[in-house]
Amino acid sequence: MAKDYGEVELFGVGGSPFARRVQIALELKGVQYTYFEEDLRNKSDLLIKYNPIHKKVPVLVHNGRPLAESLVILEYIDETWENHHPILPQQPYDRALARFWSRFIDDKCMPAISKAAFTADKEERDKGTEESLESLQILENVLKHKFFGGETTIGIVDIAAGFIAFWLPAIEEAVGLKLLTNEKFPKLYKWGEDYTNHPVVKKNLPQRDRVVGFFKARYASITASK
Amino acid sequence: MAKDYGEVELFGVGGSPFARRVQIALELKGVQYTYFEEDLRNKSDLLIKYNPIHKKVPVLVHNGRPLAESLVILEYIDETWENHHPILPQQPYDRALARFWSRFIDDKCMPAISKAAFTADKEERDKGTEESLESLQILENVLKHKFFGGETTIGIVDIAAGFIAFWLPAIEEAVGLKLLTNEKFPKLYKWGEDYTNHPVVKKNLPQRDRVVGFFKARYASITASK
């Protein structure tokens, strides 16, 4: 029987790529947890209490002790439930690269894609498209195996890049943009299919039409306020 | 005799708080390294080769393998030279908090201070000041010992927060701003003094008048382009 690690709670929002990262990590590890769905327009007192700094999801609460920031939580999960499905590599240099690329996705890719899709100003939007394509090309070059974590292993970079595999195609559909194509980025495109078809990932993705609807509304609100 | 870990090279810029983080970590660990001073207006081919993604300092090269991003490098140093002066705590939850607060300094504090000091628009600048004071208050509340790493230990949060201890007062002098005062933030102010007086830190800080001069020039260029 598995060692008892106590109570695990997760505060998330169904459509959030950051909250889904944590769910996928917990389920890859086989950790039992209780999930609390938040309403970001009406945040719960518990969410404010547990994440007073950023007041954002996800928040993981383990035996009453809260943690915020998805990449920080992923490393915590890996260090706490260390015997099953490693999320980070073992060697310090490989671990450092995994941290570097996870941050690259958060700090470069996601802001570029958001700029390309949801900026009112045409010039800014074009700049966002260019930056997105550059970022995707960099990831295309970095991907050496089926997954970023290896031939058979989903690692922290895969989990972080889930946004590119699932949310980016939904954004493309919602706003009529084409960034991640099979022609331009064959390895990354194939990775996106493999990643979203992994049983643990698949089970933890939101409903695609709802996500597309969310991005359509976001796009409409931006083009309306031009 | 110490285990031979091979060749360690660091590419930095004397005035960069990010490069200084890495130097302080290497010297706390007692790691021998070769330092290369970069000219950011005329970056070396080696820097471009080793950090093609961001083309920024610091870059650590260990036995020919390059790493960028100061916080990623600090964790690598801690995992590689693990027997002397731990930079991260041992327990997963404490490690996660250390990562959270290091990121908070990079993602919230530093941009807020930069906005408060180096924005042409008065309204934006006031907003930056407000955000800076909020961030400093949060750190004031988090600081429970002499150092963030403990009563006697400089840890990753101290090293990350070096910007607040040394560069912030230089910015204040250069642009005529007062944020980190003994009256408002007595614990953080005292921490700044203790941190910059630690022998390893003191030895690895740039010349204050040059840093003030750099920020004066930056401020002048911004007010001139108003």
A139-193, pLDDT tens digit by residue? 999 999 999 999 999 999 999 999 999 999 999 999 999 999 999 999 999 999 9
Domain co-membership, A65 together with A141: no
| B79 close contact with A: CB closer than 8 A | yes
Residue A45: partners with Cβ closer than 8 Å, 6 or more residues away: none
Domain co-membership, A74 together with A108: no
Domain co-membership, A154 together with A211: yes
Cross-chain residue pair A76–B93, CB shorter than 8 Å: yes
pLDDT at site A1: 42
Domain co-membership, B139 together with B180: yes
Is the residue at B85 inside a domain? no
Residues of B in contact with A138 (CB under 8 A): 53
| Each residue's pLDDT tens digit, A96-136 | 999 999 999 999 999 999 999 999 999 999 999 999 999 99
Is the residue at A31 inside a domain? yes
Could you say which of A53, A96, A104 has the minimum Cβ distance to residue B67?
Answer: A96
Classify residue B225 as exposed, middle or buried by CB count within 10 Å of its CB (0-12, 13-18, 19+). exposed
Alpha carbon of B163: minimum distance to chain A alpha carbons (Å): 20
Query: How many residues belong to chain B?
Result: 226
| Each residue's pLDDT tens digit, B62-93 | 999 999 999 999 999 999 998 889 999 999 99
First-to-last CA distance in chain A? 59
| Each residue's pLDDT tens digit, B209-225 | 999 999 999 999 987 76
Is the residue at A1 inside a domain? no
pLDDT at site B83: 81
pLDDT at site A224: 77
Is the residue at A109 inside a domain? yes
Please report, for residues A23, A39, A68, A113, B169, the alpha-carbon distance to residue A16 in angstroms, rounded to integers and kept in the order given: 11, 11, 14, 16, 39
Is the residue at A87 inside a domain? no
Domain co-membership, A71 together with A101: no
| Nearest residue to B87 (alpha-carbon basis) of B148, B7, B167 | B148
ipTM of the complex model: 0.95
**Tokens encoding B161:** 């927060």
**Of the residues B25, B48, B80, which one is the last residue of a structural domain?**
B80
> Residue A55 sits in a domain of what CATH number?
3.40.30.10
Is the residue at A86 inside a domain? no
pLDDT at site A59: 97
Domain co-membership, B76 together with B109: no
- What is the domain range of residue A59? 8-80
Domain co-membership, B122 together with B218: yes
Is the residue at B159 inside a domain? yes
Q: Determine the Cα–Cα distance for residues B133 and B153; give it in Å rounded to an integer.
A: 26
**Of the residues B59, B80, B101, which one is the last residue of a structural domain?**
B80
Domain total in chain A: 2
